[in-house]
Structure 1
């Protein structure tokens, strides 16, 4: 990978201290966090429920950072307009969802948002990947199953990331690949080697009781070391 490659860390809001949102958001706003990852899980796409459109308004009041809503939902369409209305900048929709992705992407843009193409950790790269990816802002690849923190990193995601990166490069499509799930100092380097340049931080590597957010980012940054060269995580 190029030596001046930029990396970004987004914060998973479901992993922060939800009992003290104002304090947590203040720390995020004064850190090098690039954006905010907001999960909505419908209990069908995976067997749990996380957040909703009303809670999104609360987070939006506390920050000007971009908010990425990850719709881990079987039918994403009913969630899109409420989420954009309540502060979402980006909407991640799953390849596995029951929806016409290109039509959904168009709907997101018409409502003022920007679409992201998401994949579960165990979903192989489809034959039409580049066609759909070209219409998204970037790719979100899960490395755990959606909705539960503290899961084991799924190694199969790495080969999928590498294949996606190769296909995008060969097609001349300039899109970032973000990885979400158990991102830590033990896993981030493998993700970067595979081709990821954006990472969602949660309980495994970002929200740590003994470190500030910036200290955690520094530790992640140090872990993305290639042959003695440490690549910077972008803090713009």
Structure 2
């Protein structure tokens, strides 16, 4: 499959949301919306209200990453707001994962699951076949600009192996430090969807159109090197 790019909206210029979304609508594959509650991670970022507000102008799926202690509290409001994917952390749902997965689907959304760097794929082995997307954190969650955790390359490769051996349909996504310094290794390990933030996209140029073109050039140069 062709590589997918999922810009992290918490890294965009929030003073120019509409303008930047109109640019990304024609280029990105989905939008990554980080929702933090100040408990599961210390920061507080975007919200269901933000999803509802931008739903009026977005043309591609919104991928909502729930860095929250109680993801069940967010499912219905995010679905009503226009979420395409709802992606809780495995660390927060394993006491009731099947109920949460069923609830996300019942609300008309695709199901993702996110794994912290120290959480093995075996943690989700009993429901891995039910998810549409697996997001492997390559940095500890909650803060932008952290260094890449190289140990995640083997986890990505394991997700790819399991997918191929069992015919699973999930997208393999990576969140954290996806940029010209990591694109090649991530792609070779099996990454299919790249969440691009400050280092991978938004800091490449003040003009987001130029920044996007630079990101694609960087990616192609890296993976074809």
Please identify, of 118-127 and 178-187, the stretch whose mean Cα deviation from structure 2 is larger: 118-127
Secondary structure of 1:39's counterpart equals strand
Counterpart of 1:197? Answer: 192
Which of residues 109, 112, 118 is equivalent to 1:116? Answer: 112
For 2:175 and 2:143, locate their aligned partners in 1 and report how far apart those are by CA, in whole Å: 12
- Give structure 2 stretches of 5+ with no counterpart: none
Secondary structure of 1:50's counterpart equals coil
Deviation (angstroms), 1:127: 5.6
Deviation (angstroms), 1:222: 2.4
Deviation (angstroms), 1:169: 1.8
Counterparts of residues 1-236 of structure 1 (less than 5 Å): 5-30=1-26, 32-98=27-93, 99-126=95-122, 128-129=124-125, 131-210=126-205, 211-225=210-224
Q: TM-score, normalised by structure 2?
A: 0.92
Deviation (angstroms), 1:77: 0.1
Residue pair 1:205, 1:220 contacting (<8 A) in 2 also: no
Deviation (angstroms), 1:41: 1.0
- Give structure 1 stretches of 5+ with no counterpart: 229-236
Residue pair 2:33, 2:65 contacting (<8 A) in 1 also: yes
Deviation (angstroms), 1:122: 2.0
Structure with a larger share of its residues in helix: 2
* Matched residues, number: 220
For 2:204 and 2:221, locate their aligned partners in 1 and report how far apart those are by CA, in whole Å: 19
Counterpart of 1:234? Answer: none
Counterpart of 1:233? Answer: none
Deviation (angstroms), 1:17: 0.3
Query: Which aligned runs of 4 or more in structure 1 are off by greater than 4 angstroms?
Result: none
For 1:133 and 1:127, locate their aligned partners in 2 and report how far apart those are by CA, in whole Å: 9
Greater length-normalized contact order (CA 8 Å, ≥ 6 residues apart): 1
Deviation (angstroms), 1:107: 0.2
Deviation (angstroms), 1:172: 2.3
Secondary structure of 1:97's counterpart equals helix
